[in-house]
Amino acid sequence: MHKPGTLHGVSLGPGDPGLITRRAWALLERRDAVWTYPVRSLRKESYALDIALRAGLALPPQHQALLFPMTHDVEKLARHWLKAAETVRDLLATGQDVLFLVEGDASTYASFCYLARVLRELDAGAQIEIVPGVTSFNAACARLQMPLSEQDDTIAIVPAAYGIAAVEKMLDDFDTLVLMKVKPLLDDLIDLLARRGLLAHSRFIEKAGSPVERIVHDVAGLKGSKVNYLSLLLVKNPNRERGEMIRGCRKKTTTELEEENQA
C-alpha cells in the first residue's frame, strides 16, 4: 500500500518569477510531483501556471487544472471546491505529492485555503504544507518605493468588497489601507478618497511584477475605466488622529475614549 503523498501550497509571488522562493523552486523542479493550478473557467489560462512557466520551469509529466469559478453562488463554489479536493485526494492516495500553484501567498486570500480546508474534511489525516511567498501588497510597495508601514503605523488589509461605509470607517482607524480586489467598487472608492482628501496619497497597481504590470499614480484618472481583478489600491492616511506615545505604546485618542465611554 502506498504511503499517501503531501499537498504543497506553493506560493509563487504576484507575477515576477524572480520572487519565487528557493523552497518553492526546489519543489517545482521535482519531476515526480503532480502540478495542479487554479483556473477561473475552462476557457481561461492559469495565471499561477504562467508565472511558473515564465520562470523557465518545465511542466512535469503529470499536471492538471482545477476549476475555481468566479461566482458568489455558494452552492456552486462548494461543488467545485469539493471536486477539486476529491481530485487532489485521489492523487495523494497513489503516493504522489501534489503541488498546488498559487499566485501571491498561499495563506492570503488564496484558492488554496478552500482546497486545503475541504481536503481536511474529506481526510482528516491529509498531509499539507504551505510554502509562504511574497504577497501582492508587499511587491506593490517595493515597486512603488513606498513603505507599507513605519514605526508604529497601523495597517488594514481588506477586500474592497466590504463596501464604502466599511472602508471609510477604517480610514479613521488605520494609517495604511491595502484595498484588495478593487475592480467592482473602483469609482466609488475614488469618490471616497477625493472626499477625504486622500487621492494624492493613494496608488493603484495591477498584476505587480508581471510583464503587464500597470502602476497609476493619478488614481482619479482611473474613474470609469476597466481594471483587472488582480489589482489593489494602497492608501496612506497621514492626517489620522493618533494618540501620544507612552513607552512605545500610544495613548488612546479622544475619539477612542469617547467610543469606550458610550459602549
pLDDT digits (tens, 9 = 90+) for 64-109: 999 998 888 889 999 999 999 999 999 999 999 999 999 999 999 9
pLDDT of residue 162: 85
Cα 127 to Cα 91, 120, 130, 224, 237: the distances in Å are 13, 9, 10, 46, 43
pTM attached to this predicted model: 0.87
Closest CA to 160 of 144, 191, 176, 183: 183
Average per-residue pLDDT for the chain: 91
Residue 134 and residue 117 in contact, taking contact as beta carbons nearer than 8 Å: no
pLDDT digits (tens, 9 = 90+) for 159-195: 988 899 999 999 999 999 999 999 989 999 999 999 9
The residue ranking higher by pLDDT, 258 or 104, is 104
pLDDT band at 259 (very low <50, low <70, confident <90, very high): low
Residue 255 has pLDDT above 80, yes or no: no
